[in-house]
Amino acid sequence: MVWMVRMTNAARSVDVDRGPAGRDRGQAAVLLILVVAVLAAATMSGLGRLGAHVRDRVHAQSIADAAALASLGGGRGQAVAVSTANGATLVSWADGPGPGEVTVVVRVGSASATARASDAADEVSAR
Protein backbone atom coordinates (compact mmCIF):
# COMPACT_ATOMS: atom_id res chain seq x y z
CA MET A 1 0.00 0.00 0.00
CA VAL A 2 1.36 3.38 -0.91
CA TRP A 3 0.39 6.38 1.09
CA MET A 4 0.33 9.54 -0.86
CA VAL A 5 0.40 12.86 0.86
CA ARG A 6 0.15 15.99 -1.19
CA MET A 7 1.27 19.13 0.41
CA THR A 8 1.01 22.29 -1.48
CA ASN A 9 3.16 25.17 -0.58
CA ALA A 10 4.22 27.66 -3.15
CA ALA A 11 3.26 25.30 -5.97
CA ARG A 12 5.32 22.35 -4.61
CA SER A 13 4.08 18.85 -3.91
CA VAL A 14 5.73 16.14 -1.85
CA ASP A 15 4.92 12.41 -2.11
CA VAL A 16 5.57 10.32 1.00
CA ASP A 17 5.72 6.54 0.67
CA ARG A 18 5.46 4.85 4.08
CA GLY A 19 5.27 1.33 2.63
CA PRO A 20 4.48 -1.82 4.62
CA ALA A 21 7.07 -1.05 7.32
CA GLY A 22 5.14 2.03 8.33
CA ARG A 23 2.55 -0.10 10.13
CA ASP A 24 5.23 -1.80 12.26
CA ARG A 25 6.63 1.35 13.78
CA GLY A 26 7.12 0.97 17.55
CA GLN A 27 7.00 -2.84 17.54
CA ALA A 28 10.66 -3.13 18.50
CA ALA A 29 10.11 -0.96 21.57
CA VAL A 30 7.26 -3.18 22.78
CA LEU A 31 9.34 -6.32 22.17
CA LEU A 32 12.33 -4.81 23.98
CA ILE A 33 10.20 -3.90 26.99
CA LEU A 34 8.79 -7.43 27.09
CA VAL A 35 12.26 -9.01 26.92
CA VAL A 36 13.58 -6.72 29.66
CA ALA A 37 10.59 -7.57 31.88
CA VAL A 38 11.12 -11.32 31.42
CA LEU A 39 14.86 -11.01 32.14
CA ALA A 40 14.17 -8.91 35.24
CA ALA A 41 11.68 -11.50 36.53
CA ALA A 42 14.16 -14.35 35.95
CA THR A 43 16.92 -12.42 37.70
CA MET A 44 14.72 -11.64 40.70
CA SER A 45 13.70 -15.29 40.97
CA GLY A 46 17.33 -16.41 40.87
CA LEU A 47 18.38 -13.84 43.45
CA GLY A 48 15.52 -14.90 45.71
CA ARG A 49 16.61 -18.53 45.58
CA LEU A 50 20.24 -17.60 46.18
CA GLY A 51 19.26 -15.43 49.15
CA ALA A 52 17.19 -18.24 50.65
CA HIS A 53 20.08 -20.68 50.32
CA VAL A 54 22.55 -18.24 51.91
CA ARG A 55 20.10 -17.59 54.76
CA ASP A 56 19.69 -21.36 55.32
CA ARG A 57 23.46 -21.85 55.25
CA VAL A 58 24.11 -19.15 57.87
CA HIS A 59 21.25 -20.43 60.04
CA ALA A 60 22.56 -24.01 59.77
CA GLN A 61 26.06 -22.92 60.82
CA SER A 62 24.74 -21.06 63.87
CA ILE A 63 22.67 -24.06 64.93
CA ALA A 64 25.58 -26.45 64.38
CA ASP A 65 27.81 -24.31 66.57
CA ALA A 66 25.19 -24.17 69.32
CA ALA A 67 24.48 -27.90 69.11
CA ALA A 68 28.17 -28.78 69.29
CA LEU A 69 28.71 -26.60 72.35
CA ALA A 70 25.56 -27.92 74.05
CA SER A 71 26.51 -31.53 73.40
CA LEU A 72 29.82 -31.15 75.23
CA GLY A 73 27.92 -31.40 78.51
CA GLY A 74 24.79 -33.24 77.42
CA GLY A 75 25.89 -35.62 74.67
CA ARG A 76 23.94 -36.46 71.54
CA GLY A 77 20.56 -35.91 73.23
CA GLN A 78 21.39 -32.29 73.95
CA ALA A 79 22.56 -31.76 70.35
CA VAL A 80 19.25 -33.15 69.06
CA ALA A 81 17.28 -30.93 71.45
CA VAL A 82 19.13 -27.75 70.43
CA SER A 83 18.89 -28.58 66.71
CA THR A 84 15.18 -29.36 66.86
CA ALA A 85 14.36 -26.31 68.98
CA ASN A 86 16.00 -24.09 66.35
CA GLY A 87 14.35 -25.67 63.30
CA ALA A 88 17.20 -27.92 62.11
CA THR A 89 17.74 -31.64 61.74
CA LEU A 90 20.75 -33.27 63.34
CA VAL A 91 22.35 -35.30 60.56
CA SER A 92 25.27 -36.73 62.53
CA TRP A 93 26.97 -36.51 65.91
CA ALA A 94 30.38 -37.94 66.66
CA ASP A 95 32.62 -38.05 69.68
CA GLY A 96 36.04 -36.82 68.64
CA PRO A 97 38.29 -36.68 66.66
CA GLY A 98 40.30 -35.68 69.73
CA PRO A 99 39.67 -36.18 73.42
CA GLY A 100 36.93 -33.92 74.77
CA GLU A 101 35.76 -32.99 71.24
CA VAL A 102 32.45 -33.45 69.46
CA THR A 103 31.55 -32.96 65.81
CA VAL A 104 27.99 -32.32 64.63
CA VAL A 105 26.36 -31.90 61.22
CA VAL A 106 22.96 -30.24 60.92
CA ARG A 107 20.64 -29.52 58.00
CA VAL A 108 18.36 -26.52 57.48
CA GLY A 109 16.39 -26.55 54.24
CA SER A 110 18.86 -27.38 51.48
CA ALA A 111 21.94 -26.32 53.45
CA SER A 112 24.03 -28.29 55.89
CA ALA A 113 26.79 -27.21 58.25
CA THR A 114 29.43 -28.89 60.35
CA ALA A 115 30.77 -27.68 63.70
CA ARG A 116 33.30 -29.02 66.15
CA ALA A 117 33.61 -28.07 69.80
CA SER A 118 36.10 -28.96 72.48
CA ASP A 119 36.18 -28.60 76.24
CA ALA A 120 39.99 -28.70 76.31
CA ALA A 121 41.81 -25.52 77.28
CA ASP A 122 43.61 -23.78 74.43
CA GLU A 123 47.27 -23.07 74.80
CA VAL A 124 48.06 -19.41 74.34
CA SER A 125 51.57 -18.59 73.27
CA ALA A 126 53.17 -15.32 74.41
CA ARG A 127 54.81 -13.23 71.74
The answer to the question of residue 74 being in a domain is: yes
What domain range includes position 60? 27-118
In a domain, 31, yes or no: yes
Which pLDDT score is estimated for 10? 53
- DSSP per-residue string spanning the chain: --------BTTB------TGGGGGTTHHHHHHHHHHHHHHHHHHHHHHHHHHHHHHHHHHHHHHHHHHHHHHHHHHHHHHHHHHHTT-EEEEEEE-SSTTEEEEEEEETTEEEEEEEE-SPPP----
In this predicted structure, what is the pLDDT of residue 87? Answer: 93
Q: Examine residue 2 and state whether it is found in any structural domain, yes or no.
A: no
Q: What is the mean pLDDT of each run of 10 residues along the chain (127 residues)?
A: 57 56 74 93 92 92 95 92 95 88 94 92 53
Whether 92 maps to a domain, the answer reads: yes
**Predicted pLDDT of residue 85:** 96
pLDDT for residue 37:
94
pTM assigned to the model: 0.63
State how many domains the chain has.
1
20, 1 contact by CB (below 8 A): yes
